[in-house]
Every structure is written in C-alpha cells, then in structure tokens.
Amino acid sequence: MRSLQKEKTMKQTIRSVSRRITEAEKQFIALKVEKAKLTREKAKLVLIGAFMVYFAAIFISIIAYSGGLRDKTIVSFIIGGATLVFIISIFPYLMETRKEEKEISEMINELTESDTFGD
C-alpha cells in the first residue's frame, strides 16, 4: 500500500517537472546512479561476507559442541562474536541506502523546484 502511494507521488513529481533535462544532466544523473550502484554493491559484499562468517561460526560451534567440547562458554563466545560481526556489517549497507535515498530526494526536489514557472 505504501509503495503504491510512493509510486504515485513519484509519477506526479516527474510530471510536474516543466523544463527539459539537457543531455549533460542526463549523463550526470546516469553517472551518479552508477556510482550509487557500485557503492551499494560494495556494502552488499561486506554484508554477504559477514553473513557467511556468521553461519560458518554457527556450523563450527555445532561441530565443536557435538564433537565433545563441553565448554559452553567457548561456543557462546564464537556465536556471540559472529553475531556482533553480522550486526556491525549491517550498518554500512543501511547507511549507504539512506544516503542514496537522500540524494535522490534532493535531486528530485532540485529538478521540480528549478524553472517551475519558466524563464
């Protein structure tokens, strides 16, 4: 429901732009989008790496516990450390997506506010 409302608002915003975007502006916007995609992919790779470390630590903990390691503190430290790494790795991805959303909103506002009444 909310995404449908966002989509309608976005379409209305795009229609309200009264001036034509120059070719240089189109290329600039395309480059900004590509740069945002690259940084998002980097953050996603960090997140995937942490996800793999998390599950590897859980797997090692299960094997260690079932293999005769009866000291639960070591297993708890392994799982706790992996969870901490996973939680910390979420932040770069979240910060990057928030930054992208902010930049897109600013770009839309700039395009809709400039030259709305003509020259």
In a domain, 24, yes or no: no
- Per-residue model confidence (pLDDT) at position 3: 67
- The amino acid at residue 107 is M
In a domain, 63, yes or no: yes
Q: What is the total count of domains within the chain?
A: 1
In a domain, 119, yes or no: no
In a domain, 110, yes or no: yes
Q: What percent of the chain has pLDDT over 90?
A: 5
In a domain, 17, yes or no: no
| Residue position matching structure tokens 């953050």 | 43
In a domain, 45, yes or no: yes
The answer to whether 18 touches 115, Cβ cutoff 8 Å, is yes
- Per-residue model confidence (pLDDT) at position 118: 46
Question: Rounded mean pLDDT of 68-96?
Answer: 85
In a domain, 20, yes or no: no
CA distance 58 to 38: 30
Domain span at 73: 39-114
- Helix 23-66 / helix 72-113 crossing angle, nearest 10 deg: 170
Task: State the pTM of this model.
Answer: 0.61
In a domain, 6, yes or no: no
| Residue position matching structure tokens 């996800």 | 51
